[in-house]
Structure 1
Amino acid sequence: MAGEQSYLMLFVDETSLYNRIVLGHLLPANLWDPLPHFLQTWLRNYLAGTLLYFISGFLWCFYIYYLKRNVYVPKDAIPTRKAMLLQIYVAMKAMPWYTLLPTVSENMIENGWTRCFSKLDDYGWTLYFLYLSIYLVLVELGIYWMHRELHDIKPLYKYLHATHHIYNKQNTLSPFAGLAFHPLDGILQAVPHVVALFIVPIHFTTHLALLFMEAIWTANIHDCIHGNIWPIMGAGYHTIHHTTYKHNYGHYTIWMDWMFGSLKDPLEEDDVPKKAK
């Protein structure tokens, strides 16, 4: 029992370190140090998530809309400032709730309720990559079906997912749309990351990194640029999802859509006008 408590303290020490690094650089100590550990962790996740959203969004928009203007995206497909500001507004309203999920997952890990492990030496590199692969497959499967049900179950679509699907054309989609969801919608689509913790052993820091990588990944798949890197579910596929509402529900890869019959290839879309001619 003492050994188990000692091991769980490794997670607490690690989250406390992350709290000190982020909060210590952004806020005076008297504003966050008296807070309970859970609230410190939530505040750290909120500030880190917000910074990541703005930094990735602004850099990506600056690159594709200004430095590479008319190279990747035609001028008439560039979203207006009004559209991007609305996306930022929706995302910022939801951010306090989004960041509650990793805070809760960290609390469950600290209490030993999950199969998370703290040290890479616990399993070694071979099992680390094996478990990570299984974890990612479970997350991909979970997000696919969660996303698909948010479309297929009409009340869920009407009251939750429709908030995101007002961005349904190239000139309304931007990297800032990546987190522009109803708060509960965004949380539901990230829940598979947490459910997988109870099924497969996963390295704690890797789990946190993957959760925060979501902000960068969702910015990427909303920029309307088709990278065409098999089997990645890039923006070309996701743009089709926003225009047809019934294809390409996947997150990282095209495999789930291929397996369950909902895949639509952007290159096939591009070929339609040519065949018509």
Structure 2
Amino acid sequence: MDHVLSFADFYVFTPYVYPASWQEEGASRQIVSLFLLTNLGALLLYLVFGALSFYYVFDHRLTKHPQFVKNQVSQEIHLATTSIFWMSFPTVMLFFWEVRGHSKLYDGIKQTVMGWSEVLASIVGFLFFTDMCIYWIHRCMHHRSIYKYLHKQHHLFKIPTPFASHAFHPLDGFLQSLPYHIYPFIFPLHKAVYLSLFVFVNIWTISIHDGDYRISGPFIHLINGAAHHVDHHLFFNYNYGQYFTLWDRLGGSYRHPSVLQGNGPHDHIRKIATETARKK
């Protein structure tokens, strides 16, 4: 985040926002700046990519599903924007520690031992590390002693739209995002890669809620997509993974997508339409 902060300082904050007496390296100024940037960045990612996905990817026939909630989209957006605001407080402190140099983030390829191969390995490591951690955090959120207090809010939406992607209780959302933030405190990671992965993670989270259940054949058993994740919303104790199906398979919680078994949301809608037509 230090590159983003430096860019914002140079072009916006220093010339137009802060008084000259408030130095760029000051802790209080950095925290305030990171709070503004984190909220603005997260909201833009959520609203822009959520809207693009909702209007150009999401199948609006799904709104006819009997479990689609009245005024669902507005509820999803309200919960998500509120959550993003409250989540930003602990997130900013993690970003602040990164900016202060307490992480293992680095600037250039010359700082690596193996060059680009190390950068590529760190991307793979990031994906598998965060997928593993999120699986177990997510699964813990379904424990009966926790679920009703935190994760239940997200499961109000049985047929989610892209706007449900960030619609969590703030603590739930932060805990599930924590693996992304702690990775660079444990493992070396290029700063540009970290920022790119942060954007990717947000877009991916939107994509598994986008209602597009088409899956390329070779990847159906490997990639956790929207077809897998809608079954998590509908059937509760399955498909906790974020990117891959690996941990669901190892943890005994994998469910083959119902949309590929003739029992998905669209099939349910067609069944209701057929029954309605017969009654007429």
TM-score, length of structure 1 as denominator length: 0.80
Quote the residue 2:31 is aligned against.
38
Task: Tell me: CA distance 1:213–1:81, structure 2 relative to 1, closer, same or farther (3 Å).
Answer: farther
Quote the residue 1:259 is aligned against.
250
Task: Tell me: CA distance 1:77–1:63, structure 2 relative to 1, closer, same or farther (3 Å).
Answer: farther
Alpha-carbon distance between aligned partners in 2 of 1:24 and 1:113, rounded to the nearest angstrom: 26
Task: Tell me: CA distance 1:208–1:99, structure 2 relative to 1, closer, same or farther (3 Å).
Answer: farther
What secondary structure sits across from 2:57 in the alignment?
A: helix
Quote the residue 2:133 is aligned against.
142
1:136-173 deviation per Cα after TM superposition (whole angstroms, max 9, x unaligned): 21111000000000002x232111000111111x3xx1
Quote the residue 2:277 is aligned against.
none
Quote the residue 2:5 is aligned against.
16
CA shift at 1:53, angstroms? 1.0
Alpha-carbon distance between aligned partners in 2 of 1:217 and 1:96, rounded to the nearest angstrom: 20
Letter in 2 for 1:249: Y
Letter in 2 for 1:108: W
- Is residue 127 of structure 1 aligned with residue 118 of structure 2? yes
Alpha-carbon distance between aligned partners in 2 of 1:242 and 1:212, rounded to the nearest angstrom: 24
Letter in 2 for 1:211: F
Quote the residue 1:50 is aligned against.
43
Alpha-carbon distance between aligned partners in 2 of 1:222 and 1:158, rounded to the nearest angstrom: 21
Quote the residue 1:157 is aligned against.
147
- Is residue 209 of structure 1 aligned with residue 202 of structure 2? no
CA shift at 1:195, angstroms? 2.3
Q: Flag structure 2 segments of 5+ consecutive residues without an equivalent.
A: 23-27, 268-280
Taking only the aligned residue pairs, the percentage that are identical comes to 27
Letter in 1 for 2:206: A
CA shift at 1:87, angstroms? 0.6
Quote the residue 2:181 is aligned against.
194
Task: Tell me: CA distance 1:46–1:232, structure 2 relative to 1, closer, same or farther (3 Å).
Answer: same
Alpha-carbon distance between aligned partners in 2 of 1:233 and 1:117, rounded to the nearest angstrom: 30
Letter in 2 for 1:157: Y
Task: Tell me: CA distance 1:32–1:129, structure 2 relative to 1, closer, same or farther (3 Å).
Answer: farther
Quote the residue 1:238 is aligned against.
229
- Structure 1 residues 110-119 or 122-131, which shifts more? 110-119
Kept after mapping to 2: 8 A contact 1:32/1:40: no
Alpha-carbon distance between aligned partners in 2 of 1:184 and 1:55, rounded to the nearest angstrom: 24
Q: Flag structure 1 segments of 5+ consecutive residues without an equivalent.
A: 1-10
Alpha-carbon distance between aligned partners in 2 of 1:265 and 1:32, rounded to the nearest angstrom: 58
Letter in 1 for 2:156: I
Alpha-carbon distance between aligned partners in 1 of 2:169 and 2:63, rounded to the nearest angstrom: 29
CA shift at 1:194, angstroms? 1.9
Higher relative contact order, chain-length normalized (CA < 8 Å, sep 6+): 2
Task: Tell me: CA distance 1:63–1:81, structure 2 relative to 1, closer, same or farther (3 Å).
Answer: farther
TM-score, length of structure 2 as denominator length: 0.80
Quote the residue 1:6 is aligned against.
none
- Is residue 224 of structure 1 aligned with residue 211 of structure 2? yes
Kept after mapping to 1: 8 A contact 2:30/2:96: no
Taking only aligned residues, the RMSD between alpha carbons, in angstroms, comes to 2.9
Kept after mapping to 2: 8 A contact 1:19/1:41: no
Kept after mapping to 2: 8 A contact 1:15/1:41: no
Quote the residue 2:156 is aligned against.
166
Alpha-carbon distance between aligned partners in 1 of 2:202 and 2:118, rounded to the nearest angstrom: 27
Aligned counterparts, 1:73-112, within 5 A: 73-74=61-62, 76-77=64-65, 82-112=71-101
CA shift at 1:117, angstroms? 1.4
Kept after mapping to 1: 8 A contact 2:213/2:259: no
1:72-103 deviation per Cα after TM superposition (whole angstroms, max 9, x unaligned): x4562495771100111111111112333542
Kept after mapping to 1: 8 A contact 2:227/2:259: no
Q: Work out which of the residue numbers 47, 59, 62 in structure 1 matches 2:52.
A: 59
